[in-house]
């Protein structure tokens, strides 16, 4: 039988351990039990602000690589000329070969404006370039012209073939071929190891149309540009001659743009292809007055732009817009000198049926509230810049009141 002392000792230990365990099972007070918060917490507020400076400008023409399309033609002040570059078709190569013929096939579908497909000219040029370092407009050298055959499968889609001189292709392949017995021959005058085709709309009598060619990024492999070299070959010394075909898709392709109509009037224009960018700055000085007595946490900031649908009826509507912070105020006098700083954002998708666009700009606005010196405004870029030709226009600060750009800030304030 246990003694009193043993019972008590064990009970005391049990109760102590139980109490410690129950410490972990505590249920804290709720809103009723605590009745606290009288001196803690913020107050929600919001306000709207108008722009005190805005403008648009046409960015210097730039080539567009990585695009799913290559535009060619001349319309609405825009001239487009695609470039395609091919590397030597991949090995294995036969031991002996002769070029019988060669061609580059491109496919097209649709375009901008309803005019006819433009007649084209093709030139093979020797130019060292890549999509990441596009050549400037007007810097292309002269080259060897090639025959162009355009096949119309349907009125708005079809293919074009550029027939390449066999001798030119053979020279090019020999220059890069390391399988020939005589390796002493080497053309040191070539600037690039690739073969570049430049396509131009004809200078005279060109319809007002920007045709859309499929690029090397086309989803269907059969629609991508393709170099085909038809050869007679021998696979071994003394072997039988037989025909063969070597093919390659472009290693790089892009289209150069020249824009002759850069005036945006009193609108804010954003576009790609012939690039347009908009810059605007909002007067948020009222917020800085609040920071004297309050800590401000910006919860959300929305910039609202109202669409002006009247200009550019011919263009595709820009599908997305990127906002960037501007780093200084030089753009106020020289818009095309605007310098941007990236901030982590996702593009704002444009609802083409809506009359306004709302862009979340919480990050930059929070920075302006914290440091007024940082308020240099925002730059708006097309999300497809370098990939397509599109436009979207908005009313500027010079428009009637309801249509002006507006910045709405929602914040939580805490007394200091």
Partner 1 sequence: MMRFRWMLAVLTVALWAGSVQGASSLSALGFGLLRESAGARSAGMGFVSLAVPDSLGLNLLAPALWDGPATARFGFQGAVVSTRTSDEVYGSDDSDEAGLRGVAMALPIGRGRFLGLAVTPYTRMDYEWEVWRSTEWSRVLERSEGSGGVAQGLLALATPVGRGIRLGLSSRAIFGKVDRSWRAEFPGVAANPAEEFISDRFKGIGWGLSWSWVGAAGLSVGGCVTGPVRMEIQQEETIYSGWSEQVDTTRELDEDYDLPWDVAIGVSRRFGPHLTAVELAWHGWDAVSHPESMADGFTDAFRLSAGWEWSPEYRQFDPFWRALVFRGGGYLQEHYVLSSSGHQSRRVAVTGGISIPYFAGKSRLDIALEMGWSGSRSQDGVAERSLTLAVGVNHSEKWFVGRRR
Query: Which of 15/191 has CB closer to partner 1?
Result: 15
What angle (nearest 5°) sits at the alpha carbon of residue 210, between those of residues 209 and 214?
Answer: 135
20 touches partner 1 by CB under 8 A: yes
Mapped onto helix, strand or coil, the DSSP state of residue 299 is strand
Cα 416 from chain centroid (whole Å) = 44
Both tokens of 252, joined, read 């790089």
The span from the CA of 316 to the CA of 309, in Å, is 12
CA quadruple 14, 15, 18, 23: dihedral sign? negative
The span from the CA of 416 to the CA of 406, in Å, is 29
Residues 6+ apart with CB under 8 A from 362: 298, 299, 300, 301
Mapped onto helix, strand or coil, the DSSP state of residue 364 is helix
Q: Near partner 1 by CB under 8 A, which window of 16-24, 56-64, 79-87, 202-210?
A: 16-24
| Shortest Cβ 356–partner 1 spacing (Å) | 16
Among 149, 295, 309, 398, interactor with partner 1 by CB under 8 A: 295
Both tokens of 36, joined, read 């606290």
What part of residues 380-409 is at the interface with partner 1 (CB under 8 A)?
none
Q: Near partner 1 by CB under 8 A, which window of 18-26, 78-86, 184-192, 224-232?
A: 18-26
Please name which of 236, 251, 391 lies closest in space to residue 317, comparing C-alpha atoms.
391
| Shortest Cβ 28–partner 1 spacing (Å) | 4
Query: Which of 220/373 has CB closer to partner 1?
Result: 373
| Shortest Cβ 298–partner 1 spacing (Å) | 6
Identify each DSSP E strand in 347-405 by its residue range: 348-349, 356-360, 378-382, 390-395
| Shortest Cβ 17–partner 1 spacing (Å) | 9
Q: Near partner 1 by CB under 8 A, which window of 169-177, 281-289, 351-359, 362-370?
A: 362-370
Answer for the pair 271, 318: CB distance below 8 angstroms, yes or no: yes
Is the bond preceding residue 92 a cis peptide, omega within 30 degrees? yes
297 touches partner 1 by CB under 8 A: yes
Query: x-or-dash pattern for partner 1, window 40-79, by CB under 8 A?
Result: xxx-x-x---------------------------------
Is the bond preceding residue 153 a cis peptide, omega within 30 degrees? no
| Shortest Cβ 403–partner 1 spacing (Å) | 21
Query: Which of 23/183 has CB closer to partner 1?
Result: 23
29 touches partner 1 by CB under 8 A: yes
Q: Near partner 1 by CB under 8 A, which window of 36-44, 73-81, 101-109, 152-160?
A: 36-44
304 touches partner 1 by CB under 8 A: no
Among 103, 130, 234, 300, interactor with partner 1 by CB under 8 A: 300
Query: Which of 160/409 has CB closer to partner 1?
Result: 409
The residue assigned the tokens 């492999």 is: 221
144 touches partner 1 by CB under 8 A: no
Question: What phi, psi does 374 have (nearest 5°)?
Answer: -85, -5
| Shortest Cβ 49–partner 1 spacing (Å) | 15
| Shortest Cβ 413–partner 1 spacing (Å) | 9
What residues form DSSP beta bridges with 246? Answer: 229
Please name which of 248, 183, 252 lies closest in space to residue 215, comparing C-alpha atoms.
252
Query: x-or-dash pattern for partner 1, window 312-351, by CB under 8 A?
Result: ----------------------------------------
Among 16, 48, 193, 285, interactor with partner 1 by CB under 8 A: 16
Query: Which of 29/351 has CB closer to partner 1?
Result: 29
Answer for the pair 134, 67: CB distance below 8 angstroms, yes or no: no
Among 231, 338, 366, 389, interactor with partner 1 by CB under 8 A: 366
Q: What does each C-alpha distance from 334 to 55, 259, 279, 314, 368 come to in angstroms?
A: 10, 19, 11, 29, 22
Interacting residues toward partner 1 by CB under 8 A: 4-5, 7-9, 11-13, 15-16, 19-20, 22-23, 25-42, 44, 46, 295, 297-300, 360, 362, 366, 370, 410, 412, 414
């Amino acid at each position: 039988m246990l003694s009193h002392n043993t019972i008590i000792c064990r009970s005391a230990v049990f109760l102590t351990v139980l109490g410690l365990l129950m410490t972990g099972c505590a249920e804290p007070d709720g809103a009723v039990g605590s009745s606290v918060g009288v001196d803690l917490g913020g107050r929600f507020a919001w306000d709207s602000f108008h722009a005190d400076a805005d403008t648009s400008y046409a960015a210097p023409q730039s080539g567009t690589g990585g695009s799913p399309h290559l535009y060619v033609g001349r319309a609405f002040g825009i001239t487009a000329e695609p470039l395609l570059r091919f590397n030597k078709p991949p090995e294995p190569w036969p031991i002996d070969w002769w070029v019988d013929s060669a061609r580059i096939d491109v496919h097209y579908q649709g375009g901008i404006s309803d005019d006819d497909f433009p007649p084209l000219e093709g030139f093979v040029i020797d130019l060292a370039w890549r999509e990441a370092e596009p050549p400037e407009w007007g810097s292309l050298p002269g080259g060897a012209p090639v025959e162009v055959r355009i096949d119309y499968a349907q009125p708005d889609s079809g293919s074009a073939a550029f027939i390449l001189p066999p001798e030119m292709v053979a020279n090019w392949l020999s220059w890069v071929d390391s399988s020939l017995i005589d390796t002493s021959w080497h053309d040191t005058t070539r600037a690039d190891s690739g073969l570049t085709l430049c396509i131009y709309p004809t200078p005279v009598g060109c319809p007002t149309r920007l045709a859309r060619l499929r690029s090397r990024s086309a989803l269907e492999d059969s629609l991508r540009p393709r170099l085909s070299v038809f050869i007679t070959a021998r696979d071994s010394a003394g072997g039988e001659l037989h025909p063969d075909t070597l093919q390659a898709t472009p290693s790089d392709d892009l289209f150069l743009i020249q824009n002759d109509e850069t005036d945006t009037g009193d609108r804010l224009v954003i576009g790609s292809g012939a690039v347009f960018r908009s810059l605007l700055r909002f007067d948020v000085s009222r917020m800085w007055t609040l920071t004297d007595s309050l800590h401000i946490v910006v919860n959300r900031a929305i910039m609202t732009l109202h669409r002006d649908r009247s200009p550019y009826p011919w263009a595709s509507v820009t599908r997305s817009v990127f906002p960037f912070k501007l780093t200084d105020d030089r753009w106020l006098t020289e818009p095309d000198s605007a310098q941007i700083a990236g901030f982590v954002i996702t593009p704002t998708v444009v609802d083409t049926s809506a009359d306004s666009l709302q862009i979340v700009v919480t990050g930059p606005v929070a920075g302006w509230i914290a440091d007024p010196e940082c308020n240099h405004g925002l730059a708006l870029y097309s999300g497809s810049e370098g990939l397509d030709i599109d436009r979207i226009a908005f009313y500027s600060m010079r428009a009637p009141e309801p249509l002006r750009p507006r910045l709405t800030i929602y914040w939580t304030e805490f007394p200091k």
